[in-house]
Amino acid sequence: MQLSRQGAEMSAYRIKFMNDLMNSSGHSFHCCQEAIEIRLAKSKERAVQAAKHRFARRQAIPHWTVRAHLIEVEEIPSVASLNQ
């Protein structure tokens, strides 16, 4: 975790936008459409909201659910914690 200028703890997250698809034998599997890293967020919820907006903007769509059906969230080491 990293501290913001105001002293609040900040975390980094990788948000994956996934689709649930069927293979040729009829078995479903998750397919990652895009993974977005939010490097500084005050909370997991804020990171997800930022990633949703970024995904929709990058894909030129009105809402993230047009191209993905679910989201996976993973906390990752922040850049600051890797440099220590």
Domain extent listing, the chain: 2-82
Residue 9's pLDDT is 80
Residue 40's pLDDT is 94
What number of other Cβ atoms are within 10 A of residue 47's Cβ?
24
Amino acid sitting at position 12:
A
CB 78 within 8 A of CB 12: yes
Which residues does the chain have with pLDDT short of 50? 1, 4
Q: Closest Cα to residue 38, out of 8, 58, 4, 10?
A: 10
How much is the pTM? 0.79
CA 3 to chain centre: 20
3-state class of 47 per DSSP? helix
